Amino acid sequence: MTTIGAAQLPEQLRQKADQLRIHSIRDSIRATTQAGNGHPTSCCSAADIVATLFFSVMRYDPKNPRNPDNDRFVLSKGHAAPLLYAAWAEAGLFDPKELLELRTLESDLEGHPTPRLSFVDMATGSLGQGLSVGIGIALNNKYLDKTSARTYVVLGDGESVEGSVWEAADVARHAQLDNLCAIIDINRLGQSDPTMLEHNLDTYKARWEGFGWHTICVDGHNHAELLNAFSKASQTAQKPTMILAKTFKGKGIPFAEDHPSWHGKPLNPEQAEEVIALLNQSLSSPTPSLPISHPTTVQRANGSAKPLPAPHYGPTDSVATREAFGEALAQLGEVNSLVVGLDADVKNSTYTDKFGKRFPERFFENFIAEQNMVGAAAGLAACGKIPFAATFAAFFTRAYDFIRMAAISQSNIKLMGSHVGVSIGEDGPSQMGLEDLAIMAAQPGIVVLYPSDAMCAYRLVETMANHKGMVYMRTGRPKTPILYDQNETFTIGGSKVLRQSDNDQLTIVAAGVTLFEALTAYDDLLQSGITVRVIDLYSIAPIDVATLKHAAKATNNLVLTVEDHYLHGGLGDAVLSALSTEGVRLHKMGIREIAHSGKPAQLLDRYGISARAIVEKAKHLVAS
């Protein structure tokens, strides 16, 4: 191998890009041909961009992609995964022969990237998410670790229509992320049609400049222009840079280049061999090597955590669980330097402002941009931080695709959704989180917690931080009584039996505000000679199957669930699933219709989850 001088760098990079195209054709296209699917043309349009980044611009350890001092690369257009894999293989991380296993069950080189691979920070492929993840990484490097590491994100032109991209654009500008450089691979063609703007770079430029980004237009196949653009980006202060790269889909494949019918379509073996031979002609022998710049090591806080101090709530206090969350998060910040907070312009309602005021350097306001908040949290988690992101539970629904991709990534993010159920009162149904348990528990591996009192909520925040993986906590708006003392412990997958006897006729399972309604109903039922067992199911997923089975068996297999949530997919369905093989007669009480504004107590009664409604239902079940 010989090394070429700096004057010949553009030619050197052209050859490296063609080498990546060969990988994307010889290996990836052969693999996608065998699989019958794939996106080789999308890889070829971005090959020059990726080659320039990996073999001239970025500083990273090619043998250790998780080195925290590396410049980071996020492939937002995840369908170009073969190009990403080829770049790391060419950098020496693994044998290029492994590329032939693309999209097979035996390989982690999947159709779209996931963090099963050491060089992937976040699963991409559901488009419009990579820039938000890049923001989280850039926030970490600029404001937390204070390193010189830069973040590069390659987006497709089609995905730039996504609203989440423009959320990210605004937040990145506000945060002055001059260590963030995004590149749009403007290859003109989407999946089914040309993109809206096609190659109209002037309009792209006006939009990104309007969002406050330093914007540069280049020929995305001209390495000298790319090098110059990346150099300018690195010298730009107080604002992120967007490089708009005009490219051609299928570049290097003569019969597919700029042709609208080749998206997601593999070449047949004869076509693949023809293109490989053509590209091989452009390579010199021996192939020039390109030295990779290694990063500078920075000292970081180790984040060793101490136990939280005991909560200060007394037995006669009345405290909202959302408030206890905020207090615990602020205390957590004192004992664990890895904890960071994010909010979406409701911090005075979620009480994350307690953390923000105490640790402003570790708190990131996303304004009303919930999608970006979740994506940025995932980026921060990829840097080893423990991000807590909070908003109203109802507003997490608009970020659900980000939550889904974070679950696929097994991201270590912690989410808190407040203002749940009809118990929020007068604000009405648009503000009521009534489907959050269903959407969160639907994703595998997510822990879903629903504390009923402040003591439980406070303790579970610490548990969330210590758990490796994604956690969602559901909190309420109204103040509720204190149920537990300071020495009570709460575990993921646990529950608490609050009322029981040897003669219980029915098990009532509840959480949140309905738990207090169930306890009131218990007293009323006791006066009528009916004894029931009451369980606080504070962990929805995983669920305490053993306790539920034992309680059901002790109460003639008769179980009633009560929840301030839509009936489908909530607490009741979680209990039903846990007891489905036990021959249990389970009855669910929850919200069955679109709710109305009103006083919380009125709404609980109107929609059949009040103590009065529980008493009525329990009497009917016991008598039948």
Q: Which residues are marked as active site?
A: 370
CA 442, chain centre distance (Å): 14
Instruction: Give the integer Cα–Cα distance in Å for 395 and 370.
Output: 7
CB 113 within 8 A of CB 120: yes
Of 569, 571, 465, 552, give the one whose Cα is nearest residue 512.
571
**CA dihedral sign of residues 164, 166, 171, 175:** positive
3-state helix/strand/coil string of 196-251: CCCCCHHHHHHHHHHCCCEEEEEECCCHHHHHHHHHHHHCCCCCCEEEEEECCCCC
φ/ψ region of 507 (left if φ > 0, alpha if ψ in -120 to 50, else beta) reads: beta
Six-digit token string for 335? 């004992």
CA distances from 525 to 4, 533, 621 (A): 87, 11, 12
- Is the peptide bond prior to 68 cis by the omega test (within 30 degrees of 0)? no
The residues, ordered by sequence, that sit 6+ positions from 588 with a Cβ below 8 Å of its Cβ are 560, 561, 563, 567, 572, 573, 576
The residues, ordered by sequence, that sit 6+ positions from 6 with a Cβ below 8 Å of its Cβ are none
3-state secondary structure at position 272? helix
The secondary structure element, H or E, covering residue 319 is strand 318-319
**How many other C-beta atoms can be found within 10 angstroms of the C-beta atom of residue 594?**
10
Looking at this protein, which amino acid is placed at residue 197?
A: L
3-state helix/strand/coil string of 592-618: CCCCCCCCHHHHHHHCCCCHHHHHHHH
